[in-house]
Structure 1
Amino acid sequence: MAASSIKKEVYRIKPLHKQVGRLMLKAPLFVALIGALITMSTGADTAGLDFRTLFSKLPPTSEIPLRDAFEARDETRLWYRHYPSESDTALILVHGSGTDSKYLSFFAQTLAESGIATVYTPDMRGHGLSPVKRGDIDYIEQLEDDLADFISHVRTVNDRLETVVVGGHSSGGGLAVRFAGGNHGDLASAYLLLAPYLGHDAPTVRENAGGWAAPNLSRIIPISMLNGLGITLFNGVHVLQFDLPSDYRDGSETLSYSYRLMTGFGTSDFRTDLGAVEVPLLLVAGSEDEALVASEFEGTVKPLVPQAIVETVNGASHLGLVVDEEAIDIVRRWVRRL
């Protein structure tokens, strides 16, 4: 979008802003989105995300664990993969946007084989091979509730557990942050954030986020305003699309999100959510991340979580981080200390 076009859009919205008045106080996301319109990249080219490095290290599908199921509180069957070990520590690792847990298989298997943690990788509601509603959930907080139900399931099937680490990569890391600041945050013994997406207004996010996601602001803005008034009728409208290259599609991808899934799959206020964390937290990012700025994480996170450990892996890209041996070794050593 050209700078002149952005200004025209802002001017067109401005009279509406005057009419709704106090709505602005009720819908802080609207204010943030106006800021996003003004500061949005003006058409800079991006190289996209490095899918090649990721897929070159993933095991064949036949070597990835088959899915198991658990029942969420609404009696929906949700799916996950289990990478067993003899450890009394469980790591629940949430995938990023647009995909499912398969791409975390190298990371999960390597960590589990080291004996440091049993790893579980859920396919979040709205994602995976056979979701009830692809790209959608029933209400904004549902993924948090699903994650809480899954923790309960993991503790039931593995009664030896002493420590449960909640973690995630990219948007999954954002969901872990949201979970930490929500109603169920005390269910986690520690948090692991792998290149977490902290929201479009975070200083850790590059312009265009690597060209991966394309938000429809003409839909997001009015729906956000309506939510500020308590009107959720249009929350099922799809507002976000992902650019997954066709070479890496297999039918399990989720290429668009509803407003409620977009909002629920990540933190809406990383400062408040991170400020609620009182347990150990490890954040790992790659120096060559195309979507995020690794050098900004320490200054952003440490003031909010003084006990946090922030590590940067030289040469690792956004997706390459989850198949990087150094990154896995950092996590392995941190979990061992827990």
Structure 2
Amino acid sequence: MALTLAAMIATPLERPPEMRSVSDSSKGIDWSTLPSLERFQARDGTWIGYRHYPPNGPATGGGAIFIHGSSGSSGTVNHALTHAIAARGVETWALDIRGHGGSGTRGDIGYAGQLEDDLIDFVAHLRKGAPDLPLTLIGHSAGAGFSLRVAATPIMQDMFVRTVLLAPYLGYDAPTNRPDSGGWAKADIPRLLGLTALRKLGIDCCSQLPVLAFAVPATSAKYLTSTYSDRLMRNFATRGYRLDLPATTRPITIFGGGEDEMMISDKYAEVVQAIKASVDVKIIDGINHMGIVTNPKAVSVIAEDVARRGIGQS
């Protein structure tokens, strides 16, 4: 048994070929308005990166924290949306999740649950300057799965008045997934199974090993994270939509793209409303997975929604 598990864990991770619909999503974005990277210190002493978008124009009295998708950071294509939200009077922050961008070690974290600790620390950091600002949590793709996880966590529920999930990855077993996320992600199944078996035996070792690879360009190491360790993959996701949705207590809205090549958006309403009928689901026609944060049509719809319902209205 030990030899079998060792062989499974030793299986090398293979990276999928570049996914052009993701790589091309940065074209046409105005990077001249990208705020500089700032940092705060998390409880373990690690510096975590983020970008601050002050409200441009009449302030709405609301704020938003944006969580990027898998492989990304605060300085990637979500800038088109975060800039648009701030332009509508919402004070906005885009966070580099630990293991991405300017936060910690690329592709890894210290332990499952550390991302929640980081977000708690980040909100505490923001509260020094904005003690009463109502905050909306916004997540894209894997970041939306993590945002759902946060919305279901009792200690964190009251930090945010509302959660907005953009093209959410609802977990490996969700009916809304396309196989391998349409070619975006490739998992090392033998290694995953081996590590899961070890945890069931009470042995939590080797969780720093990479288990998930993304279809990023070979030359993108400066901007993107190409692989996730086991513990990062497990943490930067929902615990399972069937578990997390019933535990949420604040309003949730899902936006999907009608032409999403990674998710089956037409199934969002059926899947989530069977568990939580109050979840608001909106599908934007003609929009693919990355277009939900870059396409002017989707950006306008979502930014207006966040600005209008920024104090938590359902």
Structure-2-length-normalised TM-score: 0.87
C-alpha offsets along residues 209-262 of structure 1, whole Å, 9 cap, x if unaligned?
111111001110010122223321111111111111246x25131111110001
Give the counterpart letter for 1:165 in structure 2: T
Q: Would the alpha carbon gap of residues 49 and 209 (structure 1) be closer, same or farther in structure 2, given more than 3 Å must change?
A: farther
Are 1:197 and 2:169 matched, yes or no?
Answer: yes
The answer (yes or no) to whether the contact 2:261–2:288 under 8 Å persists in 1 is yes
Are 1:92 and 2:62 matched, yes or no?
Answer: no
2:247 to 276, 289, 308: 276
The answer (yes or no) to whether the contact 2:80–2:299 under 8 Å persists in 1 is no
Equivalent pairs counted in the alignment come to 292
The answer (yes or no) to whether the contact 1:49–1:319 under 8 Å persists in 2 is no
Aligned to 2:34: 64
Give the counterpart letter for 1:319 in structure 2: M
- For 2:205 and 2:215, locate their aligned partners in 1 and report how far apart those are by CA, in whole Å: 27
C-alpha offsets along residues 21-71 of structure 1, whole Å, 9 cap, x if unaligned?
xxxxxxxxxxxxxxxxxxxxxxxx9994513552123223x4310011112
1:308 to 255, 276, 279: 279
C-alpha offsets along residues 170-208 of structure 1, whole Å, 9 cap, x if unaligned?
100011011122242332211010001011110000112
Structure-1-length-normalised TM-score: 0.81
- For 2:165 and 2:148, locate their aligned partners in 1 and report how far apart those are by CA, in whole Å: 8
Give 1:156 shift.
1.8
The answer (yes or no) to whether the contact 1:53–1:319 under 8 Å persists in 2 is no
The answer (yes or no) to whether the contact 2:68–2:140 under 8 Å persists in 1 is yes
SS at match of 2:128: helix
Structure 2: segments with no counterpart, 5+ residues = 5-15
The answer (yes or no) to whether the contact 2:291–2:298 under 8 Å persists in 1 is no
- For 2:65 and 2:185, locate their aligned partners in 1 and report how far apart those are by CA, in whole Å: 25
Aligned to 1:170: 141
Give the counterpart letter for 1:262 in structure 2: M
Aligned to 1:55: 26
Structure 1: segments with no counterpart, 5+ residues = 1-11, 17-44
Give 1:154 shift.
1.7
**Structure number with higher helix proportion:** 1
Structure with greater contact order relative to length (CA < 8 Å, sep ≥ 6): 2
2:131 to 159, 163, 170: 159
Give 1:111 shift.
1.3
- For 1:175 and 1:318, locate their aligned partners in 2 and report how far apart those are by CA, in whole Å: 17
Aligned to 1:321: 292
Aligned to 2:52: 82
Aligned to 1:214: 186
Structure number with larger C-alpha Rg: 1
Give the counterpart letter for 1:88 in structure 2: G
Give the counterpart letter for 1:98 in structure 2: S
Aligned to 2:82: 108
Give the counterpart letter for 2:74 in structure 1: S
Identity of aligned residues (%): 34
CA RMSD of aligned residues (A): 2.2
